[in-house]
């Protein structure tokens, strides 16, 4: 990546650098400036990543303390709904008004939501405050990826985006440890231990806001656009009931009256959303024309499938480690380190190779092949499989994910105009989140449905009468297994492993479809200019041609230009 010696400080307005064409230098960032911006972005993303992993080991303690164990799923559902729905909103609004204010807003609302969660007195309050948190979380990941697309050329982008996965990897290791520590402490400086699960976000978030406010200054030109509020409203009407039934359907019954009502309302909402997007055309929340772009269409489809296979498959690995291998939640988190190492290695390797070769298509294909192989191997593990073998499969799965996720983002960003980079990036993130929600709901439902028969069969094969607690109704309370003699506990573990094998086989079938889809990804030469540089060049060309800044119809310069 080359840099002009006249590069102005990040965020400098026009005229900050000398030369005949000041617009171009103001849009170009040096490696040092990019790293400085990255620090702020990664701090914001660390908030969202840590919150998800730290909650995994603390949810049960929180629910017990608030006397709402049977309501605990709503805290997760509320967060999931608002974070998923807000993701495309951040992408569209930041394309129009600029990234910085919305990224700061996302961090700020996340801090407020975290503080309120720490004050919760019952599960209903916690669910409401988790919804506020989710509004902030929806922008942290998608906007961070979009901002990198703004300041780094596609050919160099994967190298920097790999650092984001390192953030998630670090959070996935630290989160369960912190969650277990806080949940296990009766009180810390006079405050219930579990409340620090949320309060810890406040100082981290304030520090992230300070860094982002200091270093993140992107050139942007304000343009007037219609805001697709009908699209936003119908998206909410469509997704809220569908996400709710995805999370609650197992408890309600998939054919219950409440579930059917959710299906009907959700379907009507999605129909309304499609009609609204057709009416708003290029200014829609998720422009339908965007998906006529083959790269975007493949990226969205692949991300949905990847989300299903990734979340739906991997959520069973910690259960296997805790129930079959007898690990505590904290230890199980540490035992997932090989998975994190695989993600980081796959992401860094693919990023470096993309920068050197300029080719990206091969990496999602290879990544999907590795994930398919890993899910096949996971479907073969049993109660007596050595832990080291399970960890090796985790590495393989991580390599597949690392080689898949970031190159696909790079491909989509490279295939759209700079004007649409925000909405395109958030679309991929949105569909991955939707796929993860769907995969988790479906696979958990399958697991709970097959466990009783699998466990019963295992005890029958062993010729042993099963203990009363072994029905598999409550996987959160498996302490009885540790109190059983090995002869009684082992058949339970065998049955549980057999149930998990069904889930991995289902995830494998989904991933095979994903592998087929990525073969349709086209190879487009990677641009050597960042989105900011392209916008500046287009704006300069427009001014030179007709003297009217930025007016090039629907081209990139219509949205943004040099210097704020």
The pLDDT tens digits along the chain (564 residues) read 434 333 333 333 333 333 433 333 345 677 777 887 888 888 888 888 788 777 766 776 787 778 765 566 677 778 877 888 888 888 878 878 888 899 999 999 999 999 999 998 888 888 899 999 989 988 888 888 888 878 888 777 767 766 776 777 777 777 777 877 887 777 788 788 888 889 988 998 898 888 888 877 776 665 556 778 898 889 889 888 887 787 677 778 888 888 899 999 999 999 999 999 888 887 787 888 888 889 999 999 998 988 888 776 667 787 788 788 887 766 777 787 888 788 888 888 888 888 888 888 999 999 999 999 999 999 999 888 999 999 999 999 989 988 888 788 888 888 888 777 878 888 888 888 888 777 877 787 788 778 888 888 888 887 777 666 555 444 445 556 666 677 777 888 888 889 889 989 999 999 999 999 999 999 888 776 666 666 667 667 777 776 544 443 333 333 333 333
Q: Which residue has the tokens 């294909």?
A: 365
What pLDDT score was predicted for residue 27? Answer: 55
d(CA 232, CA 236): 6
Please name every residue paired with 187 in a beta bridge, in sequence order, or none if there are none.
192
Question: Contact 347/405 with Cβ under 8 angstroms?
Answer: yes
Task: Label residue 5 exposed, middle or buried (CB < 10 Å: 0-12, 13-18, 19+).
Answer: exposed
What pLDDT score was predicted for residue 45? Answer: 82
Question: Contact 159/103 with Cβ under 8 angstroms?
Answer: no
Question: Contact 305/513 with Cβ under 8 angstroms?
Answer: yes
What pLDDT score was predicted for residue 264? Answer: 94
d(CA 52, CA 38): 21
Cα dist from 552 to 150, 158, 410, 558, whole Å = 19, 30, 25, 6
Structure tokens at 433: 């989140």
Task: Label residue 176 exposed, middle or buried (CB < 10 Å: 0-12, 13-18, 19+).
Answer: buried
CA atoms within 13 A on the CB side of 476: 13
Question: Contact 62/121 with Cβ under 8 angstroms?
Answer: no
Question: Contact 198/114 with Cβ under 8 angstroms?
Answer: yes
Q: Which residue has the tokens 């702020």?
A: 40
Structure tokens at 489: 């506990």
d(CA 209, CA 110): 11
d(CA 282, CA 155): 27
Q: Where are the alpha helices (DSSP H) in 66-200?
A: 72-97, 99-118, 123-151, 154-184, 196-199
Angle at 318 between CA 313 and CA 320, to 5 degrees: 85
Nearest to 213 by CA among 111, 105, 90, 115: 105
What pLDDT score was predicted for residue 374? Answer: 94
What pLDDT score was predicted for residue 221? Answer: 64
Cα dist from 183 to 59, 80, 323, 547, whole Å = 8, 22, 19, 63
């Amino acid at each position: 990546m080359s840099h002009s010696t006249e590069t102005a400080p990040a965020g400098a307005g026009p005229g900050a650098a000398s030369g005949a064409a000041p617009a171009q230098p103001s849009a170009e960032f040096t490696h040092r400036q990019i790293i400085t911006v990255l620090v702020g972005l990664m701090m914001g993303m660390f908030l969202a990543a840590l919150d998800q992993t730290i909650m995994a080991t603390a949810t049960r303690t929180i629910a017990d303390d608030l006397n709402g164990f049977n309501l605990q799923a709503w805290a997760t559902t509320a967060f999931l709904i608002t974070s998923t729905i807000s993701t495309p909103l951040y992408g569209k609004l930041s394309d129009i008004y600029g990234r910085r204010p919305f990224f700061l807003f996302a961090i700020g609302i996340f801090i407020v939501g975290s503080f309120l969660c720490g004050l919760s007195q019952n599960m209903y309050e916690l669910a409401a405050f988790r919804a506020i948190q989710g509004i902030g979380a929806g922008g942290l990941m998608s906007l961070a990826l979009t901002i990198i697309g703004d300041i780094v050329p596609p050919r160099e982008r994967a190298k920097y985006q790999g650092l984001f996965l390192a953030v998630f990897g670090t959070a996935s290791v630290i989160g369960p440890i912190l969650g277990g520590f806080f949940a296990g402490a009766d009180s810390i400086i006079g405050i219930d231990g579990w409340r620090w699960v949320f309060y810890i976000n406040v100082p981290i978030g304030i520090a992230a806001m300070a860094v982002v406010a200091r270093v993140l200054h992107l050139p942007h030109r304000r343009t007037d656009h219609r805001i697709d509020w009908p699209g936003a409203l119908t998206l909410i009407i469509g997704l809220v009931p569908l996400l709710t039934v995805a999370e609650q359907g197992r408890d309600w019954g998939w054919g219950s009256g409440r579930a059917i009502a959710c299906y009907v309302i959700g379907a009507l909402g999605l129909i309304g959303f499609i009609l609204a997007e057709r009416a708003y055309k290029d200014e829609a929340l998720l422009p339908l024309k965007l998906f006529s772009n083959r790269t975007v269409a493949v990226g969205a489809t692949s991300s949905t499938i990847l989300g299903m296979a990734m979340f739906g498959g991997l959520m069973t690995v910690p259960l296997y480690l805790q129930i079959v291998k007898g690990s505590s939640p904290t230890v199980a988190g540490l035992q997932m380190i090989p998975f994190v190492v695989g993600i980081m290695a796959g992401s860094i390797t693919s990023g470096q190779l993309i920068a050197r070769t300029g080719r990206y298509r091969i990496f999602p294909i290879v990544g999907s092949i590795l994930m398919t192989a890993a899910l096949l191997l996971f479907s073969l593990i049993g109660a007596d499989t050595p832990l080291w073998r399970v960890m090796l499969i985790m590495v393989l799965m991580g390599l597949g994910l690392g080689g898949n996720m970031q190159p696909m983002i790079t491909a989509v960003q490279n295939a759209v105009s700079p004007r649409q980079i925000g909405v395109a990036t958030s679309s991929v993130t949105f569909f991955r989140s939707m796929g993860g929600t769907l995969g988790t709901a479906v696979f958990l439902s399958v697991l709970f449905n097959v466990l009783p028969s699998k466990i019963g069969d295992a005890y029958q094969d062993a010729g042993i009468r099963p203990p009363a607690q072994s029905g598999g109704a409550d996987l959160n309370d498996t302490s009885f297994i540790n109190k059983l003699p090995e002869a009684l506990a082992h058949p339970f573990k065998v049955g549980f492993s057999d149930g998990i094998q069904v889930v991995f086989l289902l995830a494998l079938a989904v991933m095979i479809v994903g592998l087929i889809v990525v073969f349709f990804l086209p190879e487009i030469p990677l641009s050597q200019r960042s989105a900011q540089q392209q916008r500046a060049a287009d704006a300069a060309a427009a001014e030179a041609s007709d003297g009217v800044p930025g007016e090039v119809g629907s081209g990139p310069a219509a949205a943004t230009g040099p210097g704020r």
